[in-house]
Structure 1
Amino acid sequence: MIFYKTEEEIQKIRESAEILAKAHGEVAKLIKPGIKTKDLDKVAEEFIADHGATGSFKGYNGFPATLCISVNEVVVHGFPSDYELKDGDIISVDCGVFYQGFHSDSAYTYPVGDTSPEILSLLKTTKESLYVGIEEAKFGNRIGDLAFAIQKYVEDRGYTVVRELVGHGLGRSLHEGPEVPNYGKRGRGPKLNEGLVIAIEPMINLGTRNIVQESDGWTIRTRDRKPSAHFEHTIAIFKDRTEILTSHKYIEEVVKF
Protein backbone atom coordinates (compact mmCIF):
# COMPACT_ATOMS: atom_id res chain seq x y z
CA MET A 1 0.00 0.00 0.00
CA ILE A 2 0.96 3.64 -0.51
CA PHE A 3 0.87 5.75 2.66
CA TYR A 4 1.01 9.51 2.22
CA LYS A 5 2.77 11.38 5.01
CA THR A 6 1.81 14.52 6.88
CA GLU A 7 4.31 17.35 7.36
CA GLU A 8 4.79 16.19 10.95
CA GLU A 9 5.62 12.68 9.80
CA ILE A 10 8.00 13.97 7.14
CA GLN A 11 9.76 16.02 9.81
CA LYS A 12 10.38 12.82 11.77
CA ILE A 13 11.85 11.23 8.64
CA ARG A 14 14.10 14.31 8.23
CA GLU A 15 15.40 13.77 11.76
CA SER A 16 15.96 10.08 11.10
CA ALA A 17 17.75 11.01 7.87
CA GLU A 18 20.09 13.40 9.67
CA ILE A 19 21.29 10.63 11.98
CA LEU A 20 21.68 8.42 8.92
CA ALA A 21 23.72 11.05 7.06
CA LYS A 22 26.09 11.47 10.00
CA ALA A 23 26.47 7.69 10.35
CA HIS A 24 27.45 7.51 6.69
CA GLY A 25 30.00 10.24 7.34
CA GLU A 26 31.59 8.25 10.16
CA VAL A 27 31.86 5.21 7.92
CA ALA A 28 33.29 7.28 5.07
CA LYS A 29 36.23 8.33 7.27
CA LEU A 30 37.37 4.70 7.53
CA ILE A 31 37.11 3.50 3.94
CA LYS A 32 40.60 2.69 2.73
CA PRO A 33 42.66 -0.37 1.78
CA GLY A 34 43.10 -2.77 4.71
CA ILE A 35 39.88 -2.01 6.63
CA LYS A 36 37.62 -4.99 7.33
CA THR A 37 34.05 -4.44 6.21
CA LYS A 38 32.74 -5.77 9.54
CA ASP A 39 34.57 -2.89 11.26
CA LEU A 40 32.61 -0.40 9.16
CA ASP A 41 29.40 -2.08 10.29
CA LYS A 42 30.39 -1.84 13.95
CA VAL A 43 31.06 1.89 13.68
CA ALA A 44 27.68 2.52 12.05
CA GLU A 45 25.77 0.42 14.56
CA GLU A 46 27.38 2.14 17.54
CA PHE A 47 26.92 5.64 16.10
CA ILE A 48 23.23 5.07 15.39
CA ALA A 49 22.63 3.62 18.87
CA ASP A 50 24.49 6.52 20.49
CA HIS A 51 21.99 8.88 18.85
CA GLY A 52 18.93 7.12 20.23
CA ALA A 53 18.03 5.31 17.02
CA THR A 54 18.29 1.79 15.62
CA GLY A 55 19.47 0.44 12.31
CA SER A 56 16.62 -0.42 9.97
CA PHE A 57 18.33 -3.43 8.43
CA LYS A 58 19.60 -5.55 11.31
CA GLY A 59 17.07 -8.31 11.96
CA TYR A 60 14.95 -7.33 8.95
CA ASN A 61 13.80 -10.71 7.61
CA GLY A 62 16.88 -12.12 9.33
CA PHE A 63 19.48 -9.76 7.85
CA PRO A 64 22.48 -9.96 10.20
CA ALA A 65 23.97 -6.46 10.09
CA THR A 66 23.38 -2.71 10.29
CA LEU A 67 24.98 -2.07 6.90
CA CYS A 68 24.54 -3.74 3.56
CA ILE A 69 28.12 -3.77 2.27
CA SER A 70 28.53 -4.72 -1.36
CA VAL A 71 32.00 -4.91 -2.88
CA ASN A 72 32.86 -4.88 -6.60
CA GLU A 73 30.51 -7.27 -8.44
CA VAL A 74 28.06 -7.43 -5.51
CA VAL A 75 25.08 -5.24 -6.43
CA VAL A 76 23.31 -5.02 -3.06
CA HIS A 77 22.61 -6.86 0.21
CA GLY A 78 26.16 -8.00 0.86
CA PHE A 79 27.14 -8.99 4.41
CA PRO A 80 29.88 -7.23 6.40
CA SER A 81 32.69 -9.71 6.98
CA ASP A 82 36.41 -10.21 7.58
CA TYR A 83 37.08 -9.13 4.00
CA GLU A 84 39.74 -6.41 3.90
CA LEU A 85 39.21 -3.72 1.27
CA LYS A 86 41.86 -3.68 -1.42
CA ASP A 87 43.29 -0.95 -3.59
CA GLY A 88 41.07 -0.62 -6.66
CA ASP A 89 37.89 -2.02 -5.04
CA ILE A 90 34.57 -0.26 -4.98
CA ILE A 91 32.22 -0.59 -2.02
CA SER A 92 28.53 0.24 -1.75
CA VAL A 93 27.44 1.15 1.79
CA ASP A 94 23.66 1.03 2.23
CA CYS A 95 22.14 1.99 5.58
CA GLY A 96 18.75 2.70 7.09
CA VAL A 97 17.82 4.37 10.37
CA PHE A 98 14.64 3.93 12.43
CA TYR A 99 13.94 6.91 14.69
CA GLN A 100 10.73 8.19 16.31
CA GLY A 101 8.77 5.54 14.45
CA PHE A 102 10.04 6.29 10.94
CA HIS A 103 12.68 4.93 8.59
CA SER A 104 15.17 6.67 6.30
CA ASP A 105 17.37 4.93 3.75
CA SER A 106 20.39 5.94 1.66
CA ALA A 107 23.44 4.46 -0.06
CA TYR A 108 26.76 5.56 -1.54
CA THR A 109 29.40 3.71 -3.57
CA TYR A 110 33.03 4.54 -2.85
CA PRO A 111 36.22 3.95 -4.79
CA VAL A 112 38.93 2.43 -2.61
CA GLY A 113 42.43 3.70 -3.19
CA ASP A 114 43.51 3.85 -6.83
CA THR A 115 40.43 2.77 -8.80
CA SER A 116 40.53 2.50 -12.59
CA PRO A 117 39.09 5.32 -14.75
CA GLU A 118 36.64 2.85 -16.29
CA ILE A 119 35.13 2.00 -12.91
CA LEU A 120 35.22 5.61 -11.69
CA SER A 121 33.15 6.50 -14.75
CA LEU A 122 30.57 3.88 -13.74
CA LEU A 123 30.35 5.40 -10.26
CA LYS A 124 30.09 8.95 -11.59
CA THR A 125 27.33 8.04 -14.05
CA THR A 126 25.37 6.09 -11.45
CA LYS A 127 25.56 8.96 -8.98
CA GLU A 128 24.49 11.44 -11.64
CA SER A 129 21.58 9.21 -12.66
CA LEU A 130 20.19 9.39 -9.12
CA TYR A 131 19.85 13.15 -9.43
CA VAL A 132 18.48 12.85 -12.97
CA GLY A 133 15.74 10.66 -11.52
CA ILE A 134 15.09 13.07 -8.66
CA GLU A 135 14.66 15.91 -11.20
CA GLU A 136 11.72 14.01 -12.66
CA ALA A 137 10.30 13.07 -9.24
CA LYS A 138 7.92 16.00 -8.94
CA PHE A 139 4.28 16.48 -8.08
CA GLY A 140 1.98 15.30 -10.86
CA ASN A 141 4.55 13.15 -12.66
CA ARG A 142 4.49 9.38 -12.54
CA ILE A 143 6.98 6.77 -11.36
CA GLY A 144 7.63 5.87 -14.99
CA ASP A 145 8.88 9.39 -15.70
CA LEU A 146 11.75 9.16 -13.24
CA ALA A 147 12.41 5.51 -14.07
CA PHE A 148 12.69 6.32 -17.78
CA ALA A 149 15.03 9.23 -17.08
CA ILE A 150 17.43 7.06 -15.07
CA GLN A 151 17.38 4.27 -17.66
CA LYS A 152 18.01 6.59 -20.60
CA TYR A 153 20.82 8.43 -18.82
CA VAL A 154 22.83 5.31 -18.01
CA GLU A 155 22.07 3.31 -21.15
CA ASP A 156 23.06 6.26 -23.35
CA ARG A 157 26.46 5.99 -21.65
CA GLY A 158 26.84 2.27 -22.23
CA TYR A 159 25.77 0.86 -18.85
CA THR A 160 22.92 -1.46 -17.89
CA VAL A 161 20.11 -1.24 -15.34
CA VAL A 162 19.34 -4.01 -12.87
CA ARG A 163 15.66 -4.88 -13.35
CA GLU A 164 14.89 -7.26 -10.49
CA LEU A 165 15.66 -4.79 -7.68
CA VAL A 166 13.92 -1.46 -7.23
CA GLY A 167 13.47 1.52 -4.96
CA HIS A 168 10.45 1.78 -2.71
CA GLY A 169 8.18 3.85 -0.55
CA LEU A 170 9.06 4.05 3.13
CA GLY A 171 7.90 5.54 6.38
CA ARG A 172 6.64 3.56 9.35
CA SER A 173 7.77 0.49 7.39
CA LEU A 174 11.12 0.16 5.67
CA HIS A 175 9.46 -1.01 2.47
CA GLU A 176 6.10 0.41 1.43
CA GLY A 177 4.44 1.03 -1.91
CA PRO A 178 5.06 2.07 -4.56
CA GLU A 179 7.91 0.18 -6.14
CA VAL A 180 10.35 2.57 -7.83
CA PRO A 181 12.18 0.84 -10.71
CA ASN A 182 15.14 2.36 -12.53
CA TYR A 183 13.72 1.54 -15.95
CA GLY A 184 10.34 2.18 -17.50
CA LYS A 185 8.17 4.30 -19.76
CA ARG A 186 7.09 7.88 -19.39
CA GLY A 187 3.56 8.40 -18.18
CA ARG A 188 3.29 4.96 -16.58
CA GLY A 189 2.98 3.91 -12.96
CA PRO A 190 1.58 5.56 -9.83
CA LYS A 191 1.26 9.32 -9.77
CA LEU A 192 3.56 11.31 -7.49
CA ASN A 193 1.20 12.98 -5.04
CA GLU A 194 1.87 15.29 -2.12
CA GLY A 195 3.11 13.46 0.96
CA LEU A 196 4.69 10.59 -0.96
CA VAL A 197 8.06 9.53 0.47
CA ILE A 198 10.17 7.22 -1.69
CA ALA A 199 13.71 5.88 -1.88
CA ILE A 200 15.23 6.17 -5.35
CA GLU A 201 18.23 3.87 -5.79
CA PRO A 202 19.82 3.25 -9.18
CA MET A 203 21.73 -0.05 -9.36
CA ILE A 204 23.85 0.12 -12.49
CA ASN A 205 26.22 -2.46 -14.00
CA LEU A 206 29.39 -2.14 -16.03
CA GLY A 207 28.56 -5.33 -17.93
CA THR A 208 25.23 -7.02 -18.58
CA ARG A 209 22.18 -6.36 -16.42
CA ASN A 210 21.88 -10.00 -15.35
CA ILE A 211 22.23 -10.87 -11.67
CA VAL A 212 22.32 -13.95 -9.45
CA GLN A 213 21.58 -14.52 -5.77
CA GLU A 214 24.25 -16.20 -3.65
CA SER A 215 23.51 -19.20 -1.43
CA ASP A 216 23.23 -17.00 1.69
CA GLY A 217 19.82 -15.91 0.40
CA TRP A 218 20.74 -12.22 0.43
CA THR A 219 23.84 -11.30 -1.55
CA ILE A 220 23.08 -10.22 -5.12
CA ARG A 221 25.94 -10.08 -7.62
CA THR A 222 26.32 -9.56 -11.33
CA ARG A 223 26.22 -12.76 -13.35
CA ASP A 224 29.31 -11.75 -15.35
CA ARG A 225 31.12 -10.62 -12.17
CA LYS A 226 31.72 -7.13 -13.54
CA PRO A 227 31.37 -4.19 -11.10
CA SER A 228 28.07 -2.65 -10.09
CA ALA A 229 27.37 0.74 -8.47
CA HIS A 230 24.53 1.86 -6.20
CA PHE A 231 23.46 5.30 -4.92
CA GLU A 232 20.28 6.11 -3.00
CA HIS A 233 18.34 9.01 -1.50
CA THR A 234 15.04 9.22 0.36
CA ILE A 235 12.87 12.05 -1.02
CA ALA A 236 9.50 13.64 -0.27
CA ILE A 237 7.02 15.03 -2.79
CA PHE A 238 5.29 18.36 -2.12
CA LYS A 239 3.03 20.31 -4.49
CA ASP A 240 5.60 23.07 -4.88
CA ARG A 241 8.86 21.14 -4.58
CA THR A 242 10.66 17.85 -4.11
CA GLU A 243 12.88 17.59 -1.04
CA ILE A 244 15.85 15.24 -0.65
CA LEU A 245 15.48 14.14 2.97
CA THR A 246 18.72 12.16 3.20
CA SER A 247 22.12 13.73 2.59
CA HIS A 248 25.55 12.74 1.35
CA LYS A 249 27.14 15.94 2.66
CA TYR A 250 29.05 14.30 5.49
CA ILE A 251 30.40 11.71 3.04
CA GLU A 252 31.43 14.36 0.56
CA GLU A 253 33.29 16.28 3.26
CA VAL A 254 35.52 13.20 3.63
CA VAL A 255 35.86 11.68 0.16
CA LYS A 256 36.96 13.43 -3.01
CA PHE A 257 34.69 11.40 -5.28
Structure 2
Amino acid sequence: MIDSAGDALFRPVRTGNAFEETVERLLQAIKLGVVPPGERLPAERDLAARLNVSRVTLREALHALQESGFVESRRGRYGGTFVCAAPPRVTPTEVSRKDDLEDALTLRSVLEVGAAEFAATRELSEHEHGHLRARLAECDNAGLDEYRRKDSRLHLAIAEVSGSPSLTAAVADVRMRLNELLDGIPLLPKNIEHSNRQHAVLVDAVLAGDAPAARRAMAEHIEGTASLLRGFLG
Protein backbone atom coordinates (compact mmCIF):
# COMPACT_ATOMS: atom_id res chain seq x y z
CA MET A 1 0.00 0.00 0.00
CA ILE A 2 1.44 3.39 -1.07
CA ASP A 3 0.52 6.25 1.27
CA SER A 4 0.13 9.98 0.51
CA ALA A 5 3.92 10.44 0.54
CA GLY A 6 4.14 7.80 -2.17
CA ASP A 7 1.44 9.55 -4.16
CA ALA A 8 3.49 12.75 -3.98
CA LEU A 9 6.72 11.07 -5.07
CA PHE A 10 5.20 8.87 -7.76
CA ARG A 11 3.63 11.80 -9.61
CA PRO A 12 3.99 12.32 -13.38
CA VAL A 13 7.49 13.31 -14.51
CA ARG A 14 8.28 15.87 -17.15
CA THR A 15 9.03 14.52 -20.59
CA GLY A 16 12.37 16.20 -21.33
CA ASN A 17 14.42 14.10 -18.90
CA ALA A 18 12.04 11.21 -18.26
CA PHE A 19 14.74 8.62 -17.49
CA GLU A 20 16.69 10.85 -15.12
CA GLU A 21 13.59 12.09 -13.28
CA THR A 22 12.26 8.55 -12.96
CA VAL A 23 15.55 7.50 -11.34
CA GLU A 24 15.30 10.52 -9.02
CA ARG A 25 11.72 9.74 -7.96
CA LEU A 26 12.49 6.08 -7.28
CA LEU A 27 15.58 6.96 -5.26
CA GLN A 28 13.60 9.49 -3.23
CA ALA A 29 10.97 6.86 -2.46
CA ILE A 30 13.68 4.41 -1.36
CA LYS A 31 15.72 6.89 0.68
CA LEU A 32 12.69 8.40 2.42
CA GLY A 33 11.40 4.96 3.34
CA VAL A 34 8.18 5.25 1.33
CA VAL A 35 9.11 1.79 0.07
CA PRO A 36 11.14 0.30 2.96
CA PRO A 37 14.08 -2.10 2.56
CA GLY A 38 12.87 -5.56 1.61
CA GLU A 39 9.52 -4.29 0.33
CA ARG A 40 8.29 -4.54 -3.24
CA LEU A 41 7.84 -1.52 -5.48
CA PRO A 42 4.44 -1.10 -7.16
CA ALA A 43 3.88 -3.26 -10.23
CA GLU A 44 5.48 -1.93 -13.42
CA ARG A 45 2.16 -1.18 -15.09
CA ASP A 46 0.92 0.82 -12.09
CA LEU A 47 4.24 2.61 -11.51
CA ALA A 48 4.62 3.57 -15.18
CA ALA A 49 1.08 4.97 -15.17
CA ARG A 50 1.69 6.95 -11.97
CA LEU A 51 4.92 8.43 -13.32
CA ASN A 52 3.43 8.88 -16.80
CA VAL A 53 6.43 7.21 -18.46
CA SER A 54 6.66 4.28 -20.82
CA ARG A 55 7.34 0.85 -19.37
CA VAL A 56 10.58 0.86 -21.38
CA THR A 57 11.75 4.02 -19.59
CA LEU A 58 10.69 2.60 -16.23
CA ARG A 59 12.55 -0.66 -16.86
CA GLU A 60 15.69 1.26 -17.86
CA ALA A 61 15.49 3.27 -14.62
CA LEU A 62 14.93 0.11 -12.55
CA HIS A 63 17.85 -1.57 -14.30
CA ALA A 64 20.10 1.40 -13.44
CA LEU A 65 19.07 1.16 -9.79
CA GLN A 66 19.61 -2.60 -9.80
CA GLU A 67 23.11 -2.10 -11.21
CA SER A 68 23.73 0.49 -8.47
CA GLY A 69 22.59 -1.87 -5.72
CA PHE A 70 19.38 -0.14 -4.67
CA VAL A 71 16.84 -2.69 -5.92
CA GLU A 72 16.75 -6.35 -6.89
CA SER A 73 14.52 -8.34 -9.21
CA ARG A 74 12.84 -11.54 -8.04
CA ARG A 75 11.07 -14.03 -10.26
CA GLY A 76 8.11 -16.28 -9.59
CA ARG A 77 4.58 -15.90 -8.34
CA TYR A 78 5.60 -13.45 -5.62
CA GLY A 79 8.28 -11.78 -7.70
CA GLY A 80 8.78 -8.17 -8.72
CA THR A 81 11.24 -5.41 -7.97
CA PHE A 82 12.23 -5.15 -4.31
CA VAL A 83 14.24 -2.55 -2.43
CA CYS A 84 17.49 -4.16 -1.30
CA ALA A 85 17.62 -5.00 2.40
CA ALA A 86 20.77 -2.89 2.74
CA PRO A 87 20.79 -0.23 -0.02
CA PRO A 88 24.15 1.46 -0.58
CA ARG A 89 24.87 4.66 1.27
CA VAL A 90 26.72 7.65 -0.10
CA THR A 91 29.48 8.64 2.31
CA PRO A 92 28.71 12.18 3.51
CA THR A 93 31.27 14.75 2.44
CA GLU A 94 31.41 18.51 2.48
CA VAL A 95 30.45 18.68 -1.17
CA SER A 96 27.56 16.21 -0.95
CA ARG A 97 25.55 18.11 1.67
CA LYS A 98 22.21 19.30 0.37
CA ASP A 99 22.99 23.01 0.69
CA ASP A 100 26.27 22.63 -1.21
CA LEU A 101 24.56 20.53 -3.86
CA GLU A 102 21.81 23.05 -4.49
CA ASP A 103 24.27 25.95 -4.47
CA ALA A 104 26.42 24.26 -7.13
CA LEU A 105 23.40 23.39 -9.27
CA THR A 106 22.01 26.93 -9.09
CA LEU A 107 25.34 28.45 -10.02
CA ARG A 108 25.77 25.99 -12.87
CA SER A 109 22.33 26.77 -14.25
CA VAL A 110 22.91 30.53 -14.25
CA LEU A 111 26.36 30.29 -15.82
CA GLU A 112 25.92 27.53 -18.40
CA VAL A 113 22.44 28.48 -19.62
CA GLY A 114 23.67 32.04 -20.06
CA ALA A 115 26.85 30.88 -21.80
CA ALA A 116 24.91 28.78 -24.32
CA GLU A 117 22.48 31.59 -25.04
CA PHE A 118 25.22 34.16 -25.51
CA ALA A 119 27.37 31.85 -27.62
CA ALA A 120 24.45 31.49 -30.03
CA THR A 121 24.26 35.28 -30.46
CA ARG A 122 27.82 35.51 -31.74
CA GLU A 123 28.99 35.11 -35.31
CA LEU A 124 31.31 32.18 -34.81
CA SER A 125 34.44 31.64 -36.86
CA GLU A 126 35.13 28.52 -38.89
CA HIS A 127 37.64 27.51 -36.22
CA GLU A 128 35.01 27.89 -33.47
CA HIS A 129 32.54 25.81 -35.47
CA GLY A 130 35.15 23.09 -35.85
CA HIS A 131 36.07 23.30 -32.18
CA LEU A 132 32.49 22.65 -31.06
CA ARG A 133 31.96 19.84 -33.57
CA ALA A 134 35.22 18.17 -32.51
CA ARG A 135 34.32 18.32 -28.80
CA LEU A 136 30.85 16.94 -29.58
CA ALA A 137 32.36 14.04 -31.53
CA GLU A 138 34.77 13.27 -28.69
CA CYS A 139 31.86 13.06 -26.27
CA ASP A 140 29.88 10.80 -28.60
CA ASN A 141 32.82 8.39 -28.92
CA ALA A 142 34.03 8.46 -25.31
CA GLY A 143 34.12 5.31 -23.22
CA LEU A 144 32.80 5.22 -19.66
CA ASP A 145 36.27 5.77 -18.21
CA GLU A 146 36.74 9.08 -20.02
CA TYR A 147 33.18 10.29 -20.53
CA ARG A 148 33.06 12.86 -17.75
CA ARG A 149 36.33 14.43 -18.91
CA LYS A 150 35.07 14.70 -22.50
CA ASP A 151 31.70 15.97 -21.28
CA SER A 152 33.47 18.67 -19.26
CA ARG A 153 35.50 19.66 -22.30
CA LEU A 154 32.39 20.10 -24.44
CA HIS A 155 30.71 22.30 -21.85
CA LEU A 156 33.86 24.39 -21.53
CA ALA A 157 34.01 24.72 -25.32
CA ILE A 158 30.50 26.21 -25.34
CA ALA A 159 31.60 28.73 -22.71
CA GLU A 160 34.76 29.48 -24.70
CA VAL A 161 32.84 30.41 -27.86
CA SER A 162 30.77 32.89 -25.84
CA GLY A 163 33.86 35.06 -26.21
CA SER A 164 34.17 35.85 -22.49
CA PRO A 165 37.32 34.57 -20.74
CA SER A 166 35.80 35.49 -17.37
CA LEU A 167 32.68 33.44 -18.07
CA THR A 168 34.80 30.52 -19.26
CA ALA A 169 36.82 30.65 -16.02
CA ALA A 170 33.62 30.73 -13.96
CA VAL A 171 32.19 27.74 -15.85
CA ALA A 172 35.46 25.88 -15.29
CA ASP A 173 35.23 26.54 -11.55
CA VAL A 174 31.64 25.33 -11.28
CA ARG A 175 32.48 22.31 -13.42
CA MET A 176 35.15 21.32 -10.89
CA ARG A 177 32.51 21.41 -8.16
CA LEU A 178 30.08 19.49 -10.35
CA ASN A 179 32.61 16.75 -11.11
CA GLU A 180 33.23 16.23 -7.39
CA LEU A 181 29.49 15.64 -7.03
CA LEU A 182 29.32 13.40 -10.09
CA ASP A 183 32.15 11.28 -8.72
CA GLY A 184 29.77 10.29 -5.93
CA ILE A 185 27.19 8.71 -8.25
CA PRO A 186 27.41 5.89 -10.81
CA LEU A 187 27.70 6.42 -14.54
CA LEU A 188 24.44 5.29 -16.14
CA PRO A 189 24.74 4.27 -19.81
CA LYS A 190 21.14 5.28 -20.51
CA ASN A 191 21.81 8.75 -19.15
CA ILE A 192 24.94 9.03 -21.30
CA GLU A 193 22.95 8.15 -24.43
CA HIS A 194 20.36 10.75 -23.53
CA SER A 195 23.01 13.36 -22.72
CA ASN A 196 24.69 12.83 -26.07
CA ARG A 197 21.41 13.42 -27.89
CA GLN A 198 20.89 16.59 -25.89
CA HIS A 199 24.46 17.69 -26.62
CA ALA A 200 23.78 17.41 -30.36
CA VAL A 201 20.63 19.53 -30.11
CA LEU A 202 22.50 22.08 -28.01
CA VAL A 203 25.49 22.39 -30.35
CA ASP A 204 23.20 22.60 -33.40
CA ALA A 205 21.30 25.48 -31.77
CA VAL A 206 24.50 27.36 -30.94
CA LEU A 207 25.92 26.90 -34.44
CA ALA A 208 22.60 27.92 -36.01
CA GLY A 209 22.60 31.14 -34.00
CA ASP A 210 19.30 30.25 -32.33
CA ALA A 211 19.76 31.75 -28.87
CA PRO A 212 16.33 30.82 -27.41
CA ALA A 213 16.76 27.21 -28.58
CA ALA A 214 20.30 27.07 -27.16
CA ARG A 215 19.04 28.38 -23.84
CA ARG A 216 16.21 25.84 -23.72
CA ALA A 217 18.48 22.96 -24.73
CA MET A 218 21.09 23.75 -22.08
CA ALA A 219 18.46 24.28 -19.36
CA GLU A 220 16.84 20.91 -20.10
CA HIS A 221 20.19 19.16 -20.33
CA ILE A 222 21.56 20.33 -17.01
CA GLU A 223 18.25 19.69 -15.26
CA GLY A 224 18.61 16.02 -16.18
CA THR A 225 21.98 15.89 -14.43
CA ALA A 226 20.51 17.78 -11.48
CA SER A 227 17.76 15.16 -11.15
CA LEU A 228 20.31 12.36 -10.88
CA LEU A 229 22.46 14.25 -8.38
CA ARG A 230 19.46 15.08 -6.19
CA GLY A 231 18.32 11.48 -6.39
CA PHE A 232 21.63 9.90 -5.44
CA LEU A 233 23.06 12.58 -3.13
CA GLY A 234 20.07 14.55 -1.90
Q: Counting strand residues as a fraction of each chain, which structure ranks higher?
A: 1
Give yes or no for TM over 0.5: no
Higher relative contact order (CA 8 A, sep 6+): 2
TM-score (norm 1): 0.36
Larger radius of gyration: 2
